[in-house]
Chain A
Amino acid sequence: MVRILLFAGLAQQAGTQDISINVNTPISIIEMKKKLQEKFGHLNGLDNCLTAINEEYANESSMVKAGDTLAFIPPVSGG
Chain B
Amino acid sequence: MKYFNICKEPIDNQRVIDQVIHHNAGAVSVFIGTVREMTGDKQTKYLEYEAYIPMAEKQLEKIGEEISDRWPNAKTAITHRIGTLQISDVAVTIAVSTPHRQDAFEASRYAIERIKEIVPIWKKEHYIDGEEWVGNQKGTKQYLSGYPEGIENK
Question: CB within 8 Å of B: which residues of A?
Answer: 5, 7-9, 12, 45, 48-52, 55-60, 71, 73-79
- How many Å lie between the Cα of A76 and that of B135 in the bound state? 6
- Subset of 9 A-B contacts with CB under 8 Å: A12-B133, A45-B135, A50-B120, A50-B146, A52-B52, A55-B55, A74-B135, A76-B119, A77-B134
Residue in A45, A59, A74, A76 with the greatest tally of chain B CB atoms within 10 Å: A76
Pairwise interchain contact A77-B136, C-beta atoms closer than 8 A: yes
Pairwise interchain contact A71-B55, C-beta atoms closer than 8 A: yes
- How many Å lie between the Cα of A13 and that of B99 in the bound state? 48
Q: Which residues of chain B from 38 to 92 have a CB within 8 Å of any chain A CB?
A: 49-52, 54-56, 58, 80, 91-92
B126-154 to A contact mask, C-beta < 8 Å, 1/0 = 00000001111100001111111001011
- How many Å lie between the Cα of A50 and that of B145 in the bound state? 9
A51 CB contacts on chain B under 8 angstroms: 146
Question: CB within 8 Å of A: which residues of B?
Answer: 33, 49-52, 54-56, 58, 80, 91-92, 112, 115-124, 133-137, 142-148, 151, 153-154
B49 CB contacts on chain A under 8 angstroms: 78
- How many Å lie between the Cα of A56 and that of B123 in the bound state? 21
- Report the minimum CB–CB distance from A9 to chain B (whole Å): 4
Q: A12-B133, A76-B121, A77-B122 are in contact. Are A48 and B52 (CB under 8 A)?
A: no
Residue in A45, A51, A58, A73 with the greatest tally of chain B CB atoms within 10 Å: A73
Pairwise interchain contact B147-A57, C-beta atoms closer than 8 A: yes
- Report the minimum CB–CB distance from B12 to chain A (whole Å): 19
A60 CB contacts on chain B under 8 angstroms: 146
- Report the minimum CB–CB distance from B22 to chain A (whole Å): 26
User: Who on chain B is nearest to A58 by CB?
Assistant: B146
B142 CB contacts on chain A under 8 angstroms: 48, 75
User: Who on chain B is nearest to A78 by CB?
Assistant: B121
- How many Å lie between the Cα of A57 and that of B149 in the bound state? 11
A7 CB contacts on chain B under 8 angstroms: 50, 52, 120, 122
